[in-house]
């Protein structure tokens, strides 16, 4: 049966006692979970359509349902406009009905009748619209999901590379350590923004292209931190004792050194996530991030600052960005306090 060790329990209790960080973590986890199911409440496709006794689920149908399926004419072969279909069924009053999400607009859907429209309950553009009539709230929700996915995948990739290389540099030392030190120094002199500009001009801008470039440059920070921590732990007596008892290098690193460097790994996680979100937003704002037709906070901020007369755009995205980054920072401060090695240590 799985059971937490006493130190982990103490660290968890310490984290929960820091209310600002604890509640920020709960809110962030809730927002991430909700964003994973954003299609259920922010979407231009209906959740359920009941037509002539049959039920359809367009949101997760996995294919486009043409209007001809719902009596809109045999020549209606494009995707159904479910908002219009709902109104049509309501006027006909034949027992057919449509259930739409709370926000019945997609993140990339255009609405030519409501371009740069202020927030309105009547049109259900609750935070207004921006260029081409796209819904601000839809862009915020899907932009948050994209930003968090980008930051978390970037975190995993850079941490895997950084932890592995950093531990080996610190444990083996010698020529291996010296080689990677010089390599990292050269790596860090490469101008990141110029590389992004070149990649954006040569390759098509996409989520994975941008992520690859960020991973290419982002692994060195964790590598330096793990190298330093591993050097420090390697000099302790428990490592010498394990080596004298015949423990393999893999066992010494995995079972002895890594548990004592966990505080370094964990405390940097929230700040790395905040850095990933900020980096994606900045690159989108500068025009080197995601495609312009893909909903993102950076693109929304760029459009908002270019159209300050439509103040609801820049206000919405700025407040959202500040709140999310503050919560991530509060979580990071709480984790750093809870995992402070001066308070808790595996080896005295």
Q: Which helix (H) or strand (E) holds 129?
A: none
Bridge partners, residue 129, by sequence: 135
Region 223-246: what's the mean pLDDT?
88
**What's the full length of the chain, in residues?**
348
**DSSP per residue over 17-70, as a string?**
H-HHHHHHHHHHHHHHHHHHTGGGTB-SS-SEEEETTEEE-GGGSSS--BGGGG
- The highest-confidence range among 8-12, 17-21, 245-249, by mean pLDDT, is 17-21
Instruction: Give me the pLDDT at residue 256, please.
Output: 85
Each domain of the chain, given as residue ranges in start order, spans 6-37+137-338, 44-100
CATH superfamily of 6-37+137-338: MetI-like (1.10.3720.10)
Region 264-285: what's the mean pLDDT?
92
Residue of 50, 310, 219, 182 whose CA lies nearest to 301: 310
Span 126-166, pLDDT tens digits: 999 998 889 999 999 999 999 999 999 999 999 999 999 99
R_g of the chain computed on alpha carbons: 26
Tell me the C-alpha distance between 41 and 35, whole Å.
Answer: 10
Instruction: Give me the pLDDT at residue 103, please.
Output: 94
CB 296 within 8 A of CB 143: yes
Span 185-215, pLDDT tens digits: 998 898 888 888 888 888 888 999 999 999 9
Span 82-141, pLDDT tens digits: 999 999 999 988 889 999 999 999 998 888 888 899 999 988 999 999 988 899 999 999
Instruction: Work out whether the CA dihedral 304, 312, 149, 64 comes out positive or negative.
Output: negative
pLDDT above 70 (res 2): no
Residue of 242, 346, 328, 298 whose CA lies nearest to 11: 346
pLDDT above 80 (res 271): yes
pLDDT above 70 (res 253): yes
What's CA 148's distance to the chain center, in Å? 1
Tell me the C-alpha distance between 284 and 243, whole Å.
Answer: 50
Instruction: Give me the pLDDT at residue 101, please.
Output: 94
Residue of 30, 36, 107 whose CA lies nearest to 290: 107
């Amino acid at each position: 049966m799985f059971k937490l060790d006493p130190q982990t329990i103490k660290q968890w209790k310490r984290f929960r006692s820091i209310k600002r960080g604890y509640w920020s973590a709960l809110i962030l986890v809730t927002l991430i979970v909700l964003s994973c199911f954003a299609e259920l409440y922010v979407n231009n496709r209906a959740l359920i359509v009941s037509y002539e006794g049959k039920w359809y689920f367009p949101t997760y149908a996995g294919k486009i349902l043409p209007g001809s399926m719902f009596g809109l004419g045999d020549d209606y072969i494009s995707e159904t406009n479910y908002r219009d279909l709902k109104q049509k069924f309501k006027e006909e009053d034949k027992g057919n009905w449509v259930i739409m999400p709370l926000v019945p607009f997609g993140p990339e859907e255009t609405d030519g009748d409501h371009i740069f429209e202020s927030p309105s309950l009547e049109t259900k553009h609750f935070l207004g619209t921006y260029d081409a009539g796209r819904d601000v709230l839809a862009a915020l929700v899907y932009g948050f999901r994209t930003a968090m996915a980008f930051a978390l995948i970037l975190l995993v990739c850079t941490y895997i590379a950084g932890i592995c290389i950093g531990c080996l540099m610190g444990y083996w030392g010698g020529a291996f350590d010296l080689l990677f030190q010089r390599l990292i120094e050269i790596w860090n002199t490469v101008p990141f923004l110029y590389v992004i500009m070149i990649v954006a001009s040569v390759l098509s801008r996409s989520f994975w292209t941008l992520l690859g470039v960020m991973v290419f440059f982002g692994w060195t920070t964790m590598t330096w931190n793990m190298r330093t921590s591993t050097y420090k732990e390697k000099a302790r007596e428990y490592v010498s004792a394990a080596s004298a008892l015949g423990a393999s290098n893999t066992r010494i690193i995995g079972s002895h050194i890594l548990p004592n460097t966990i505080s370094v790994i964990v405390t940097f996680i929230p700040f790395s996530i905040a850095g990933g979100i900020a980096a994606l937003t900045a690159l989108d704002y500068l025009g080197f991030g995601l495609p312009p037709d893909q909903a993102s906070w950076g693109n929304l901020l760029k459009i908002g600052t270019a159209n300050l007369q439509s103040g609801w755009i820049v206000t919405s995205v700025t407040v959202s960005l500040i709140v999310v980054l503050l919560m991530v920072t509060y979580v990071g401060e709480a984790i750093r306090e809870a995992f402070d090695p001066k308070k808790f240590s595996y080896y005295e």
